């Protein structure tokens, strides 16, 4: 781990007698009563206080490089190259915005001090082109830094714009660079505020770092719902755990999309507003505003008149819009899709299917939406379209199935849907009216009820086996069938008179007998029952097909005492 000082180098004041640029001597101090050694370079004072391993100076061709060169040659007992010293001095004395950086031969300066003292020369920055070149030069500082290094930044000297560059360096190293470094201190030598002894205070501007961290955390929370950065600052500044816990819960629920937990978080936000007065520092002005923004973003008018189900799907609609605005398109698609399904379930009063699979509970609403997507009436069709298209986007996102051509259209559709979904979910009467005319939900409910009834019967195992034959089954055959299929204790047989009719039908092979036995089947069976037809009847196949159409399970003898279903 190294301590590295990054500091700006200005042009100083021209000393006519010495024919060189210099800074005035100053006695710096960090604490009153503990002055540091008098020096003309604040970098030297900072080095004395914190023992730097490397000092990086940033300046222009007009900065006083010769003075720094002479100072550190003396300080480090290095023989000064007079010819190079004079070259530096002459270059900086005559320098202007057009002076070539190469004239300083800064690589000789850097080689002199074995890279312990390093110079970076930038242009004056009179236009965007020069400023961009300066950015490229300054960002090279990253190569001088290793993981774990402690960085000190001083903004005392040079152009006013240099302070901005040094703050950009700090932000880049902290938030963009892959280096794990610590910005230890930002300092400023405040010549304009000396003490009674004419000593110059070195002021710490570390509060700026803290404020920037708060801003970064606020931006992440506002734009992405992530409170993790701001929580780090709250840990340092707040003992009250309620605020920290609610922010953490809110971030977790936003990122995992747990709608019930989100409802709870938003409700709790409202109850802890009074505790925000306990905040100190920058958070006092940032966190309350963020809380207020989220409460306003997701609250409803006439909230007390809404049912829990209504609050749930309307919150999903608001959440979809928020996610879409933050370019989190997959989350927007999920919330639009789920909101529409929950809305249709509630408005059309569809029963929740009795299933262990959560995804199947709302199958009736999904089937309704798939069918409604195919109607011509745009007022009702739009619900099906939104559902089908967001389901497609959701699936493509989950399984990486997208085609490049889909991307723009999908995003465009999501932006439209997310901005209209909330109002669409307020049109309950419209949906009921249109559905009533179509009769679609009632049809689906009837089919569902029939299916449930059938399942219950199957579960009970009370389906009958109806045997059409002029003979009965022996006990071994009955045991075989009962072991393989769910049937009642004893098969149902034809009556004595019906057996005679069956025997006659097998001899005549007439269509009148076919129609008569269809009626017998209707009278002797219920949906879900089994049927076994034995006999050489020409229209036996037609009878079996008819039985299947009545939702009977048709059994066949495939081998002696062996049975299977068609």
Q: What is the pLDDT of residues 93-112, one digit of tens each?
A: 999 999 999 999 999 999 99
Q: What is the average per-residue pLDDT within 262-287?
A: 77
pTM, rounded to two decimals? 0.66
In the sheet that holds 3-8, the strands lie side by side as 28-29, 200-204, 182-189, 150-154, 3-8, 54-59, 117-121
The pLDDT value given to residue 274 = 72
**Alpha-carbon span 335 to 321, nearest angstrom:** 9
- pLDDT tier, 172 (very low <50, low <70, confident <90, very high otherwise): confident
Q: Mean pLDDT over all residues of the chain?
A: 87
Place of tokens 């080095």: 47
The pLDDT value given to residue 356 = 52
**Alpha-carbon span 406 to 129, nearest angstrom:** 39
Cα dihedral 295, 296, 299, 303, rounded to 10, equals 110
**Alpha-carbon separation of residue 139 from 6, 110, 152 (angstroms):** 12, 17, 16
Please name which of 224, 229, 266 lies closest in space to residue 249, comparing C-alpha atoms. Answer: 266
**Alpha-carbon separation of residue 367 from 208, 232, 312, 390, 431 (angstroms):** 57, 47, 21, 15, 15
Options 3.40.50, 3.30.70, 2.60.40, 1.20.120; CATH of 1-188: 3.40.50
Residue of higher predicted confidence among 191 and 158: 191
Q: What is the average per-residue pLDDT within 167-177?
A: 85
**Are 548 and 554 within 8 A, CB to CB?**
yes
**Alpha-carbon span 491 to 534, nearest angstrom:** 14
Three-state DSSP class for residue 511: helix
Residue of higher predicted confidence among 171 and 62: 62
Q: Could you give phi then psi for residue 58, rounded to 5 degrees?
A: -120, 125
The pLDDT value given to residue 291 = 77
The pLDDT value given to residue 357 = 47
The pLDDT value given to residue 7 = 95
The pLDDT value given to residue 358 = 47
Helix segments in 24-155, DSSP class H:
42-50, 65-75, 82-93, 106-112, 128-138
Model confidence at 54: pLDDT above 90: yes
- pLDDT tier, 129 (very low <50, low <70, confident <90, very high otherwise): very high
Model confidence at 321: pLDDT above 80: yes
Three-state DSSP class for residue 357: coil
Question: Where do the domains of the chain lie?
Answer: 1-188, 209-298, 312-454, 463-563
Model confidence at 139: pLDDT above 60: yes
Q: What is the average per-residue pLDDT within 395-420?
A: 82
The pLDDT value given to residue 63 = 95
């Amino acid at each position: 781990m190294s301590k590295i000082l990054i500091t700006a180098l200005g042009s100083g004041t021209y000393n006519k007698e010495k024919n060189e640029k210099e800074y005035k001597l100053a006695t710096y101090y960090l604490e009153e009563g503990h002055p540091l050694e008098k020096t003309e370079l604040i970098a030297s004072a900072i080095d004395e206080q914190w023992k730097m391993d490397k000092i990086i100076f940033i300046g222009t061709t007009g900065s006083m490089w010769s003075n720094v060169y002479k100072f550190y040659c003396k300080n480090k007992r290095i023989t000064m190259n007079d010819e190079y010293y004079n070259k530096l001095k002459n270059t900086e004395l005559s320098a202007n915005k057009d002076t070539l950086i190469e004239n300083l031969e800064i690589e000789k300066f850097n080689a002199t001090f074995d890279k312990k003292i390093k110079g970076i020369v930038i242009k004056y920055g009179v236009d965007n082109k020069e400023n961009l070149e300066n950015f490229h030069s300054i960002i090279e500082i990253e190569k001088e830094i290793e993981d774990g290094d402690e960085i000190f930044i001083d903004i005392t000297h040079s152009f006013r714009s240099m302070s901005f560059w040094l703050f950009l360096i700090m932000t880049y190293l902290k938030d963009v660079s892959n280096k794990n470094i610590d910005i230890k201190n930002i300092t400023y030598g405040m010549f304009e505020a000396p003490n009674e002894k004419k000593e110059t205070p070195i002021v710490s501007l570390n509060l700026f770092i803290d404020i920037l961290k708060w801003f970064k955390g606020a931006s992440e929370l506002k734009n992405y719902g992530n409170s993790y950065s701001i929580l780090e600052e709250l840990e340092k500044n707040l003992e009250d755990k309620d605020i920290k816990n609610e922010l953490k819960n809110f971030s977790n629920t936003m990122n995992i999309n747990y709608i019930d937990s989100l409802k709870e978080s938003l409700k709790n936000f409202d109850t802890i507003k009074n505790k925000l007065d306990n905040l100190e520092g920058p958070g006092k002005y940032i966190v309350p505003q963020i809380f207020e923004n989220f409460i306003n973003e997701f609250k409803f008018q006439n909230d007390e008149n809404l049912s829990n189900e209504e609050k749930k799907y309307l919150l999903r609609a608001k959440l979809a819009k928020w996610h879409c605005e933050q370019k989190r398109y997959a989350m927007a698609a999920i919330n639009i899709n789920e909101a529409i399904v929950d809305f249709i379930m509630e408005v059309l009063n569809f029963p929740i299917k009795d299933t262990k699979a959560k995804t199947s509970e709302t199958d009736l609403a999904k089937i309704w939406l798939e069918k409604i997507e195919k109607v011509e009436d745009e007022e009702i069709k739009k619900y099906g379209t939104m559902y089908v298209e967001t389901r497609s986007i959701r699936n493509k996102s989950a399984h990486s199935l997208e085609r490049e051509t889909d991307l723009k259209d999908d995003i465009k559709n999501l932006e439209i849907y997310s901005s209209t979904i909330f109002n669409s979910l307020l049109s309950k009467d419209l949906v009921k009216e249109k559905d009533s005319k179509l009769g679609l939900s009632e049809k689906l409910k009837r089919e569902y009820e029939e299916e449930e009834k059938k399942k219950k019967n199957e579960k009970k195992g009370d389906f009958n086996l109806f045997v059409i034959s002029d003979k009965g089954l022996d006990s071994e055959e009955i045991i075989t069938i009962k072991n393989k299929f769910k049937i009642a204790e004893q098969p149902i047989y034809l009556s004595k008179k019906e057996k005679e009719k069956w025997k006659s039908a097998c001899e005549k092979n007439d269509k009148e007998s076919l129609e008569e036995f269809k009626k017998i089947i209707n009278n002797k069976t219920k949906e879900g029952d089994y049927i076994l037809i034995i006999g050489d009847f020409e229209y036996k196949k037609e009878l079996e097909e008819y039985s299947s159409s009545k939702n009977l399970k048709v059994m066949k003898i495939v081998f002696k005492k062996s049975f299977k279903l068609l």
